[in-house]
Structure formats: structure tokens, C-alpha cells
Amino acid sequence: MANNQAEKTVDVVIVGAGFSGLYLILKLRELGLSFRVFEAGSGVGGTWYWNRYPGARCDVESMQYSYSFDEDLQQEWEWSEVFAGQPEILKYANHVADRYSLRDDIEFNTSVVSAHFNEVTNRWAVTLDSGEIVNTQYCIMATGCLSSPRAPDFKGMDSFKGKTYHTGEWPHEDVDLTGLRVGVIGTGSSAIQAIPVIAEQAGHVTVFQRTPNYSIPSRNGAMSNEYAQAWKSEYQTRREIQRTTPNGNYYDRSKIGAMDVGDDERRRIYEESWKAGGTQFMASFKDLSLNQAANDTASEFVRERIREIVDDTDTAELLAADGYPIGTKRICVDTRYFETFNRDNVRLVDISKHPIDEITETGLKAVGEAFEFDAIVYATGFDAMTGTLLKIDIQGRNGLKLQDKWEAGPVSYLGIMVGGFPNMYTITGPGSPSVLCNMMVAIEQHVEFVADSLADMQARGADVIEADLDAEAAWVEHGIEVAYKTLYPKAASWYMGANIEGKPRVFMPYIGGMANYAAKCREIVADGYPGFVINNTPPEVKSA
Ligand code: NA7
């Protein structure tokens, strides 16, 4: 069965025990399939297991960033804040694992090193870091989109004698920065969440900024009973509405364009959105991601707020993002980020024109200055969406390596299967809405699609399912077409692979909208899986 070490052949291997992996276990149990689940961490929760940096918090409201598959679960769980922090989300993941007794089915501290498809047996050989090889019919990569921290490669990094941290690999034990001189490198979402919290503890914080970011105040607060009950009393309806939106979030979206109203009315609307807070700001008008002139008005409004908040005019000017449209790098949501630069113990250093020279024994050298630190925090992001998959040696038909197939950027059919890699599903893979959507909505939709597909395979008595290469090419072309109708490709973002040197510049997530995407998936299921090639392999071939 699922966790039987002696049993070397299973129906399914699941890689990862984040929110995708946990839900998959339940679905596979329903289907009566045998499976093994491998998780590199020592606990469940995926991104929420690893990202323990101070201030780590979800930018989707807690009532919406949670599973919807079980009415009892969503009724009984109580969130303490409107936007839950990492410890509470991890607690929720653990609660789910306990509630459905999932833990016994997961092999922790176990990494998958390689997965090779055998064309004779139509089985995958999955090699673990222990050396064990597991044979499986299906391989489901539930490896997450932001699960490979981007290791910085500054000269002299190893020489630093102080403490070094990466936001994406924060230690599990308490980190006490009280009174210390801390350098933070990066001003992405992780840094924007961490800096205000670190600044309250540390003696002094120096922030090294290469690119300023747009950020909207979260207006986070304690979850009121009324708010929670408003959700719980109509949870099913609201979840259904979430699924019919472009990004899996339940909130009002404007139906008018930013240039359809006069200056005063536009400002009034932005002010209202700013006051309400959160990523919903980008829904102030319907065309902020599509129309440069419209976007310019939103970008300028946020820059004005930054200038208003930050006392020192030079610092404010450095923090006021420019040069790319607001929202085209993932919009950040903060708690007193810009205000933090008014503190006496926080300094911003602009490294946009001159990169950091080197890390030294005592700190770092940049912009002609030697900085001394007790601790350096690398908030330098992730090799997003493809990093984790490409770290595993995945070989499909004819020894085709995923690294080679994706040399010019990731290609897939629906972000769920890659041509030439039969029986391998990717949950929220590149080519699916994934990171452009509330991840919980994206995850549930993908897990359910995969479970339906496996049930269909059982019903047909089929052995092999794979993406048709023409369907894959058409999907990739469609993905590019919709992406280039938006402003997103204008930014050097991790969506574009631009944060990793040498990574192909391809817009990786599917931006056609979650609702459209899910409708397309439903249509595919109803029509008998067009775009997938499904074969019944004779048993004698299988056992050859
Ligand atoms: P991000 O958003 O990729 O941010 C990484 C930050 O680190 C960003 O400001 C980078 O500047 C900076 N960076 C990276 N390398 C360097 C070097 N070599 N020198 C200076 N600065 C550097 O990662 P996060 O972890 O903050 O957030 C990722 C997602 O997690 C986020 O979007 C949410 O979805 C949750 P750059 O912009 O590249 O100039």
C-alpha cells in the first residue's frame, strides 16, 4: 500500500506534500490507487514549510486561501487574521494532514533525484536520494511553483563570518536578530514583508535595492467573527464565484477602463482601492494589465503615495517604482513597508547602477562603500516554475531529457502534461494559470483534473496517456498570444524567467484567466480528452 517500503511498484508516485500533494492523496485514495508520496522537507506544507522568514504572509485572504473540497473543513477551521501569516497557514496544512490521516502516506526527508520512463514497460523508474528505485505507472509532480530558492552567486560569499539567511530557506529554529546590523539584499515580495519586521528587532538594517517594487498596503487585521461568518454562511456560493474569476479571487472587479472616467473620478477610485488595500488594487479598472496609458495612471498614483509616506525625498524617489508597468512584476502587498524607511535604523542603498562588488568577511562592498554586518539576508527569490522540475533528472520517451525539451523555455499541454513524457502530470505547471491565480483554486482544479483523468484511464483500461505534440504546440502558441496582448512581458520578472541568468525569456504562466482555462479543461474531459493520446498497451508488452 501507500507507505509500504517492501512494495516497489505502485500505481502513482507523488512528488511533494504541499497543498497539491495533500489533496492528491485524498483523491488517489478515492480511486483506490496505490501510491507513494515523497517530500524533501520533514513536514507538510510546501512553500509554507520552507518560507519561514519574519513577516511571511499570504497575499490572498485567508477565507479564500484554503481548501474548498470539504464543507466541514471550511466550516470548522478558524483563521485569526484576514491575511494569514506563515505559521498559521502551516498550522492549517498540518491540521489537514491530521484530519484526514495523510501523514502516514508521506515519506518525509526524501528527495526524488531522477525519473526515467521505460518504453518497454510503460513505467517510470523514480530514483530517491537514498538510492532506492520505485517503479510507478504515473508520476505526479506536485513540486510547487516557488520551491527552488535562487542561490545568489556574489563574489566572496563564503568568506562572510556573520550569519547568512535566505528568505526561502529560513531556519526552523528562532532567529534572533535583536540589536544586530543586518543587510538585506533584494526588494521583492519576501523582502517587502520581512524588512518591517526585521527593522523592529535589529539594531540597524541596510536594504540593497536593485529594482524598486510597487506595493499596496494589505490593511491586514484580526479576523472578525462577522467577516468569517459572512463567508461561512455562503461558502459554497462564494467558492463557485472564485472559480469563475480570472484569478480565483472573490472581490469586486471594475467593468470600466481607467481612461473612461475623468481625472477626479479616477483618483477617487484609486483612493478607495488604496484604502481597501490588497492586490484588489489592480482590479480598480478593467484594463490596468492591458493598456499602457491606463496602467500609467495606476503606477503614478502608487508613486505619489510612496512620496507621501516616505519622509526623505531621495529615499522616496528611489523607492518609487518606475520603468515597468505596475502589476507586471507580481504586485506586492505589505504592512508598513514604505513607512519603515522613516525609521532611524533603516537605510536604503541603490544598487541599480552598480551591482554589489563582493561579500566580505565583515559585510559587503558596494557603491564604493564597505558595509559591516552581523547578518546578511538574501531575499533574492526563486528559480520559479521550472527550477524544481529541471533539478530532477527527468527523462521521457527515447531518453528525452526535460532539460532539453525545455531548453528554449517550458512547453506543455495545459501546463499539465509535457509531450514525450507519458503518464507524468505536473500540478500547476508552466502553461497553466498557477501563480496568476489564487494557488488554492489552481491546485484544486488541477488535482481534480488529474484525478478525473486517472479515473478515465481506469475506466478505459488504458495504460498510457500523453500530450499530443500538435496540441501542445497549439497551446503554447495560444499562451504566447494571450500573454503578448497584456503588458506583462514588458517587465523583467520571474514570470518571464528574467531573474535567472541564462534562463529563456518566456512568459511561463497561462494568462488567459482561470475561468476560461477551467472551462477549457471541462470541455476536454467532456469530449474524451482531445489533445491527449491514450493507449491500451497489451499486458505482455508491459511485463516484457
Ligand atoms: P523576487 O520577487 O524574485 O525578488 C527578488 C529580489 O532580489 C528582487 O528585488 C531582485 O532584484 C533582488 N535580487 C536578485 N538578485 C540580486 C542581485 N544579484 N543583486 C541585487 N538584488 C538582487 O522574489 P521574492 O522571494 O521576493 O518573491 C517571489 C514571490 O514569492 C512573490 O512574487 C510572491 O508570489 C511570493 P531585481 O528585481 O531582479 O532587480
Does residue 4 have a pLDDT over 70?
Answer: no
pLDDT in tens, 21-53: 999 999 999 999 999 999 999 999 999 999 999
Q: Which long-range contacts (CB under 8 A, 24 or more apart) does 497-503 make?
A: 497/384, 497/385, 497/386, 497/409, 499/150, 499/381, 499/382, 499/384, 500/150, 500/383, 500/387, 503/383, 503/386
pLDDT of residue 537: 62
Q: Whose CA is nearest to atom 31 of ligand 1?
A: 189
Using the atom order of ligand 1, give the atom closest to the CA of residue 152.
18
Instruction: Identify the helix (H) or strand (E) that includes residue 274.
Output: helix 263-276
Phi/psi of residue 405, nearest 5 degrees: -60, -35
Ligand 1 center to residue 375 CA distance, Å? 19
Q: How confident is the model at residue 422 (pLDDT cuts 50, 70, 90)?
A: very high
pLDDT of residue 536: 76
Does residue 378 have a pLDDT over 60?
Answer: yes
Residue from 152, 156, 181 nearest 365 by CA: 156
pLDDT in tens, 457-515: 999 999 999 999 999 999 999 999 999 999 999 999 999 999 999 999 999 999 999 99
Ligand 1 center to residue 37 CA distance, Å? 31
The answer to whether the CB of 185 is under 6 A from ligand 1 is yes
Give dist(CA 131, CA 134) in Å, integer: 10
pLDDT of residue 410: 98
Does residue 538 have a pLDDT over 80?
Answer: no
Does residue 1 have a pLDDT over 80?
Answer: no
Does residue 7 have a pLDDT over 70?
Answer: no
Q: Whose CA is nearest to atom 33 of ligand 1?
A: 189
pLDDT of residue 151: 79
Helix (H, G, I), strand (E, B) or coil at 493: coil
Going by DSSP bridges, is the β-strand pair 204-209/181-185 parallel, antiparallel, or unpaired?
Answer: parallel
As a whole number, mean pLDDT of residues 408-436 equals: 98
pTM: 0.96
Q: Whose CA is nearest to atom 16 of ligand 1?
A: 380
Does residue 383 have a pLDDT over 50?
Answer: yes
The answer to whether the CB of 58 is under 6 A from ligand 1 is no
As a whole number, mean pLDDT of residues 168-185 equals: 97
Pair 388, 144: CB distance under 8 Å: yes
pLDDT in tens, 232-254: 999 999 999 999 999 999 999 99
The answer to whether the CB of 21 is under 6 A from ligand 1 is no
Pair 499, 493: CB distance under 8 Å: yes
pLDDT of residue 35: 98
Ligand 1 center to residue 85 CA distance, Å? 20
Q: How confident is the model at residue 544 (pLDDT cuts 50, 70, 90)?
A: very low
Using the atom order of ligand 1, give the atom closest to the CA of residue 378.
7
Ligand 1 center to residue 340 CA distance, Å? 19
pLDDT of residue 541: 42
Q: Whose CA is nearest to atom 27 of ligand 1?
A: 189
Ligand 1 center to residue 465 CA distance, Å? 37
pLDDT in tens, 74-130: 999 999 999 999 999 999 999 999 999 999 999 999 999 999 999 999 999 999 999
Q: What is the largest CA-CA distance in the chain?
A: 76
Tell me the sheet residues that pair with 139: 13, 424
The answer to whether the CB of 189 is under 6 A from ligand 1 is yes
As a whole number, mean pLDDT of residues 142-146 equals: 98
The answer to whether the CB of 379 is under 6 A from ligand 1 is yes
The answer to whether the CB of 381 is under 6 A from ligand 1 is yes
The answer to whether the CB of 166 is under 6 A from ligand 1 is no
As a whole number, mean pLDDT of residues 428-452 equals: 98
Going by DSSP bridges, is the β-strand pair 424-426/133-141 parallel, antiparallel, or unpaired?
Answer: parallel
pLDDT of residue 152: 87
The whole-angstrom distance between residue 536's C-alpha and the CA centroid of its chain comes to: 36
Residue from 167, 136, 123, 165 nearest 149 by CA: 167
Neighbours of 543 (CB within 10 A): 8
As a whole number, mean pLDDT of residues 371-376 equals: 98
pLDDT of residue 2: 43
As a whole number, mean pLDDT of residues 422-437 equals: 98
Q: How far is CA 512 from CA 343, 424, 479, 515, 522, in A?
A: 42, 24, 7, 9, 15
